Amino acid sequence: MSTSAPTTRTRVVREPQRGVYDREVINQILDEAFICHVGFVIDGQPFVIPTGFGRVDDTLYIHGSAASRMLKQLSGGIPVCVTVTLLDGLVLARSVFNHSMNYRSVVVLGTADLVSDPQEKLAALHSLSEHIAPGRWEHSRQPSDRELKATSVLKLPLRECSAKVRTGPPIDDDEDMSLPFWAGVLPLELVPRTPLPDPKLPSDIAIPDHVAHYSRTRR
């Protein structure tokens, strides 16, 4: 298993035992998450923008309109912080103070570059589509030249990154263990429901397998 050696910026300081630097774990968390939050500063004002993303090997891709203020600023080389979080359960302790959550999160630091190579740009958009719904790229019209020109794609190398993970039951104080309150974990999971066809969809078009049997869990 490869690891991302922690830097002074990515080493987990609070609850360091929860820090994870194994790249396989980091990749699994990134691949399961839907949304990342992109943090950056412009003229002293911090911004944190939620957006979709894709991953190809050691590169994270984000995209948007070529007129996007965020993408224009990031392509200029300003520092960026990208985070994702998966919530796995509510940890209910005997005391309110010790309530917590089970989660998996990733922080990626660095600078992003504009993707100018047409083939890499198309591959990045493919990764974004497949990240949302594996198999969807081949069941959709693919981008036209006009759409490609109207879209900017940025890439952020996964060089400086780390994960933080909490699992397990509540951690109560010894003096609270005999209190008559239920304690434990309420697991949470993102579960797809029955697909709803577009009302304008012809009735003879069946639900494809990648939709009918959709699963987000990729552990």
- 188 within domain boundaries: no
- 155 within domain boundaries: yes
- 201 within domain boundaries: no
| Average of per-residue pLDDT across 153-170 | 96
- 32 within domain boundaries: yes
Provide the number of structural domains found in the chain.
1
With cut-offs at 50, 70 and 90, classify the pLDDT of residue 4: low
With cut-offs at 50, 70 and 90, classify the pLDDT of residue 93: very high
- At residue 3, the pLDDT reads 63
pTM above 0.85, yes or no: yes
- 76 within domain boundaries: yes
- At residue 16, the pLDDT reads 87
pLDDT at 69 over 90: no
| Average of per-residue pLDDT across 73-96 | 96
175-193: per-residue pLDDT in tens? 999 999 999 999 999 999 9
- 40 within domain boundaries: yes
| Average of per-residue pLDDT across 46-71 | 93
For residue 46, give its domain range.
Answer: 16-173
Q: Which tokens hold the place of 166? A: 């909490």
* Amino acid (one-letter) located at 95: S
Q: What is the CATH number of the domain that holds 118?
A: 2.30.110.10
- 199 within domain boundaries: no
